[in-house]
Amino acid sequence: MPNITPLALTRPARRHKQIEMTKTLQQGFVALTSVVVIASILLMVSIGLSLYSVGELQNSFDEVESSRALALAEYCQEKAVYDLTKNSAYQGGETLTPDLAKPEEICNILPVTTYGEPTGTGDTEGIFTLTEKSDWEAGTNSGTDLVSAPGDVKVNSGGGGGPGKLDLLAMYNADNNIITATTDSANRSKAVDGNLATAWAATTSMQTVHSWIIDLGVSTNITYLALTSSASAPLPGMQTIMESADGVVYNPVCSTMVGILATWNITNSSTGCNPPGHAHPFNTRYLKLSIANQSFGMSTTWTVKEFEVYVASLPASSTATQTSKANQMTSPAGGTAIVQYTEFSPSETASQGEIKYRFRKSNWGGSWLGEWSDFKIYTGAPIDLSKIEALMITAKDIIDARYYINVESTLTKSAPTSDPVLHDYTVKYLTQTGADAGPTICKLIRSEGKVTRDDNFYVRRLESNSCSLCPVSLDSWREVGDFN
């Protein structure tokens, strides 16, 4: 038998191993290629996401800069409007840096321009005059004397001369601390302001008590008290007026069950409500209004519209206030709106003492009252109302009928013998009969805010197309620029 060498036996095995190695290499190559391809795809996706994030970050940055630029532009806009309200001849052309720590952030007020020509059509001058005793009586009076010289407003200085109602509002205005309340403290003076349209209110839940207290300052001889109030629901409880000499121990003057009478209008505590053992008149310093809710699971609101104290002898007074009724100086005939108040001219005798005035806008019913202006003193020339910010009338004011004027006159005696007197006053105003009929002269304000680059700006423009009395109606905003 021939000899078989080991070489002959191993050739097929080697060939088989070579084939296997080749397949393995091919598979490895494919796998490596796949890994490279996948890695490349992932890298591209990652780069794309990064670019997208960078883009979004840039957009966000641009948006922030745009908002900042707009805020800067609006800052300049508001500054320009304010300057126009103070001076109708304001020309603009200013560069401002609101934040000195960021000098690169500025805003420009572009030159204020005027366009259109006044037609003179539609502007009508009118006047209101208050002069009669009935005019003064129609408003609110505190410490006034309207009787001794009918038609004139004087300080009621007849102390010790006769009976009358204490001027609790004047006492409160002199010292706000004389009235305290366990709730609705901000409105505590509305129970003595002489206005039945306003009130102090106490809402009580079950088994709770709320109170309102006034300190008259000294022991006072009281002939009777008057109270106008109501309760929101006839629940078990007590409404009580009490008095105290020391502010600690209180004695009842008058009380009634809430459940018996939801509306409580006691006009004279000496006859209408006088519990046994408490005679009138009586001496006291402190007076308390109290409501006790004795129900379970229900609440009621006690509304005190007016609390009055009548005495046998009125003290001397050094001040007096007369406030016109909110809608007393009514809209002109034909339903036209007032677009500007121009002058206030009083007739007064104030060489002995002082008379000062302040003004605010109101609506027809007096349910809306604007903020009071600063006090003005008449020096012989008419008081210019056109520059008083509290009286500036916008187009929205006209739509909401908030263009009536409310005048408060305060008289102060400089010495016991002085006697300032207000005889009458006249308010001048301008009206406009319609948007098309009025003058067309208008103001145009433009402003721009710059952040970090010269092209980072936002332009705002403000127009008034209602009348020549700019800036009476500077309230129509329109964007005409954009962030670049």
d(CA 195, CA 197): 5
Q: How far apart, in whole angstroms, are the C-alpha atoms of residue 112 and residue 482?
A: 20
- Nearest 5°: CA angle at 80, between 74 and 83? 145
Structure tokens at 150: 């009918």
CATH number given to 159-311: 2.60.120.260
Residue 53: φ, ψ to 5°: -65, -40
Residue whose token pair is 């905003």 = 477
Could you tell me if 139 and 434 are in contact, meaning their C-beta atoms sit under 8 angstroms apart? no
Long-range contacts at 469-472 (CB < 8 A, ≥ 24 apart)? 469/339, 469/340, 469/386, 469/430, 470/84, 470/88, 470/441, 470/442, 470/443, 471/81, 471/84, 471/85, 471/88, 471/392, 471/443, 472/339, 472/340, 472/392, 472/393, 472/394
Q: What is the pLDDT of residue 456?
A: 60
Residues forming a β-bridge with 434 = none
Radius of gyration over every alpha carbon of the chain, rounded to an integer in angstroms: 40
Q: Which stretches does DSSP call E strand in 232-369?
A: 237-244, 251-257, 263-266, 282-293, 300-311, 319-323, 337-349, 354-362
DSSP H or E run through 201: strand 200-204
Please, what's the b/e burial string for 166-188 (b: 16 or more CB within 10 A of its CB; e: otherwise)?
bbbbbbbbeeeebbebebbeeeb
Q: Are 373 and 391 in contact (CB under 8 A)?
A: yes
Give the per-residue pLDDT at 464: 41
pLDDT at residue 213, rounded to an integer: 97
pLDDT reported for residue 283: 92
Where along the chain do its domains lie?
15-121+434-484, 123-132+322-429, 159-311
Neighbours of 326 (CB within 10 A): 23
Does pTM surpass 0.75? no
**What residue type is assigned to position 122 of the chain?**
G
The whole-number mean pLDDT for each consecutive block of 10 residues of the chain, a chain of 484 residues, reads 47 55 57 66 67 58 74 82 74 87 85 55 77 93 88 78 79 89 93 90 83 93 87 76 93 74 67 71 93 77 90 79 90 70 93 90 88 93 92 80 92 82 94 46 70 63 42 38 41
Measure the CA–CA gap between 81 and 445, rounded to whole angstroms. 8
What is the per-residue pLDDT for 32? Answer: 62
Structure tokens at 268: 């004279």
